Amino acid sequence: AYVVQVTNAHDVSKALQFAQEHHLDVAVVGGGHSTSGSSSTDGGLVVDLTKMRNVTVDYANKTITAQGGTIWEDVDYAAAKYGLATVGGTVNHTGVGGLTLGGGYGWLTGKYGLTIDNLLAAEVVLADGRIVQTSESENPDLFWALRGAGQSFGVATSFTFRGYKQENSVYGGLLVFKPDALEKVVEFANWLVKSTEGESGMVVGIGAPAPARKVSVLTIIFYNGDQAKAREYFAALFALEPMADLTREMPYRDVNAMFNTVSTHGDRKTQKGSAFSVPLSTSLARTLLTDYTKFINDVPDAVKSIVLMEFFSQRQVNKVSQTAMSFANRGEHNNILFSTRWVGDKNDKTCRDWTRTMGQKVNEELKKDLTGDGVGQYGNYDALKKQYDPKNVFNKGAGKFSL
């Protein structure tokens, strides 16, 4: 493929026009976190935004503006200089663009909603090369489409987010439990979702961490407050006697690095996202652990794979109408991710098949609780797609998970 390293919206415009003049497939790379090939193309043109990583903060208006190639670490550190934060991904080397345009969950979701709920404006380069500004008052139909399905409408070269005061430290980190603690951990996580006022969150994982590589229950916790309050809030979880406790008090700017150790670059990868209704069935959680254990026993080269279940309050998320944006996944459910990674192409089919099967298994459970409220969104999407990208130049997409 051809790769164009752009530095501004005008470069992007020229690249898109060149691609169409020469009938080249187009891919856009920001953080490059996609495992589905969305950030690459075979024989086409890659619009590489990675040199566009400037972040500016307007403290008076409490806004944070990030260029299209920024990663969340850029945003977190720039905002922290002013005692501000916004809802960002839980892995800080994730691209701002991909996460935002797909919806975006993070540790502050319980308090402030989705990333797109805090998006105030965006600059977009359309398929025909036009550079447009979008917000609730400027090109509002395109702004509606960007918030949930943005990868399908253009190249976002700038995002402006609402910032919030975040001057206090937070508490969080990894707790590792034996497999027999799974049901109790899930019961606590279910309680957290229903009881929290947005100050806390939790991710429950099933994995085999180094160095022992034994199947364990991995729990990452978050509390927007100091250690004393956090330890009191999570007392019932600590009472389950974790094998390892790597939790600590830290500045908010560091909290989105907690997952970096389980989301490193390299290896062969595939991912499948789904969702589950809260409370999560402990029997389903046990089934997932059993299936995971069998999988890594059968495919030892896939021992770095992990299953992640998010437990964030959806109160703020659900205060926004299902039709307010193209994002149509609001409800009383949380995300689950099967993140499979392995070594060697001999395991490609086995690993991809397992990941797909696990996603389907959770989807069947979720169908029992879904209402179909978001189905009507497609009509709006289809009409706007024909208006802004009739040739389907932007034919690759991404997901909504916080990673």
The burial class, CB within 10 Å (0-12 / 13-18 / 19+), for 210 is: exposed
Tell me, yes or no, whether 142 and 222 share the same domain.
no
Q: Is the pLDDT of residue 34 over 80?
A: no
Residue 372, in any domain of the structure = no
What is the Cα–Cα distance from 119 to 134, expressed in whole angstroms? 10
Q: Is the pLDDT of residue 401 over 50?
A: no
CB atoms within 10 A of CB 233: 18
Residue 384, in any domain of the structure = no
Bridge-based pairing of strands 26-29 and 45-48 is parallel
Tell me, yes or no, whether 67 and 212 share the same domain.
no
- Final residue belonging to a domain, choices 110, 137, 165: 165
Count of structural domains within the chain: 2
Residue 377, in any domain of the structure = no
Write out the DSSP string of 115-177.
TGGGEEEEEEE-TTS-EEEEESSSSHHHHHHHHHHGGGT-EEEEEEEE-EE--S-EEEEEEEE
- Final residue belonging to a domain, choices 97, 131, 165: 165
Can you give the residue range of the structural domain that contains 120? 2-165
Residue 72, in any domain of the structure = yes
Tell me, yes or no, whether 198 and 273 share the same domain.
yes
pTM: 0.94
What is the Cα–Cα distance from 364 to 387, expressed in whole angstroms? 35
Residue 309, in any domain of the structure = yes
Sign of CA dihedral 122, 127, 131, 136: negative
CATH number, domain of 360, equals 3.40.462.20
Tell me, yes or no, whether 262 and 304 share the same domain.
yes
Tell me, yes or no, whether 150 and 9 share the same domain.
yes
What is the Cα–Cα distance from 156 to 30, expressed in whole angstroms? 10
Tell me, yes or no, whether 213 and 72 share the same domain.
no
Tell me, yes or no, whether 156 and 225 share the same domain.
no
Could you give the 3-state DSSP secondary structure of residue 388?
helix
Angle between helices 282-298 and 182-195 (to 10 degrees): 130
CATH number, domain of 73, equals 3.30.465.10
Q: Is the pLDDT of residue 219 over 60?
A: yes
Q: Is the pLDDT of residue 197 over 50?
A: yes
Q: What is the pLDDT of residues 59-88, one digit of tens each?
A: 999 999 999 999 999 999 999 999 999 999
* CA nearest neighbour of 138 among 160, 155, 117: 160
- Let me know how long the chain is: 403
Q: What does the DSSP 8-state code read for residue 280?
A: P
- Final residue belonging to a domain, choices 165, 183, 198: 165
Q: Report the pLDDT value the prediction gives residue 276, as an integer from 0 to 100.
A: 94
Q: Is the pLDDT of residue 103 over 50?
A: yes
Residue 374, in any domain of the structure = no
Q: Report the pLDDT value the prediction gives residue 180, as an integer from 0 to 100.
A: 98
Tell me, yes or no, whether 140 and 274 share the same domain.
no
Compute the average pLDDT of residues 32-44.
85
Tell me, yes or no, whether 347 and 245 share the same domain.
yes
Tell me, yes or no, whether 146 and 209 share the same domain.
no
The pair of structure tokens assigned to 28 is 């856009």
Sign of CA dihedral 363, 93, 49, 104: positive
User: HEC states along 215-244?
Assistant: CEEEEEEEECCCHHHHHHHCHHHHCCCCCE
Compute the average pLDDT of residues 220-245.
98
Tell me, yes or no, whether 155 and 202 share the same domain.
no
Residue 375, in any domain of the structure = no
Residue 124, in any domain of the structure = yes
Tell me, yes or no, whether 18 and 76 share the same domain.
yes
Mean pLDDT of the chain: 94
Please calculate the CA angle 372-374-377 and round it to the nearest 5 degrees: 135
First to last CA, the chain: 27
